[in-house]
């Protein structure tokens, strides 16, 4: 956790956001990440997502089972989703989402939005061509040489 906090502080010094994350497997750090949203003009460049991408490269797998993530702040909904998709076993965090909000990051709003049905969210969502879009799922279901994830 201290390394994640150190990374969050260094990220601020380097011009990024105040977030850092490390992924650990078998007691050793396999990947680190900092927030590069403004540095890379990439709204997905959160510390956790960056660390997950690097861990996948280092370990040669998209399945990070057996890993733990230490992050300087409670993961936002995007990062939490990425952590679940990566199958990381455990999450440790420093600041919570209320501390993030007090620092100007409104993760709480995203948590509220995700809980709503699509037609109640502040961003308009419209389902289009669903019967045509289903073809890709049908193809996936029948594919015999797929790699499940």
Active site residues: 48
Coil/strand/helix, residue 85? helix
Number of H helices, E strands in the chain: 7, 4
Integer angstrom CA distances of residue 112 from 76, 82, 116, 117: 11, 18, 7, 11
């Amino acid at each position: 956790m201290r390394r994640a906090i150190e990374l969050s502080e260094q990220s601020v010094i380097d011009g990024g956001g105040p977030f850092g994350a490390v992924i650990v497997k078998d007691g050793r750090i396999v990947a680190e990440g900092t927030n590069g949203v403004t540095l890379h003009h990439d709204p997905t460049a959160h510390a956790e997502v960056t660390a997950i991408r690097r861990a996948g490269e280092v370990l040669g797998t998209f399945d990070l089972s057996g890993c733990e993530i230490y992050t300087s702040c409670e993961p936002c909904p995007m990062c939490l989703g990425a952590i679940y998709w990566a199958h990381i076993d455990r999450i440790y965090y420093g600041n919570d989402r209320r501390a993030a909000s007090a620092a100007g990051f409104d993760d709480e709003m995203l948590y509220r939005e995700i809980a709503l049905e699509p037609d109640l969210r502040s961003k308009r969502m419209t389902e289009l061509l669903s019967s045509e879009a289903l073809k890709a799922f049908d193809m996936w279901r029948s594919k015999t040489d797929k790699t499940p994830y």
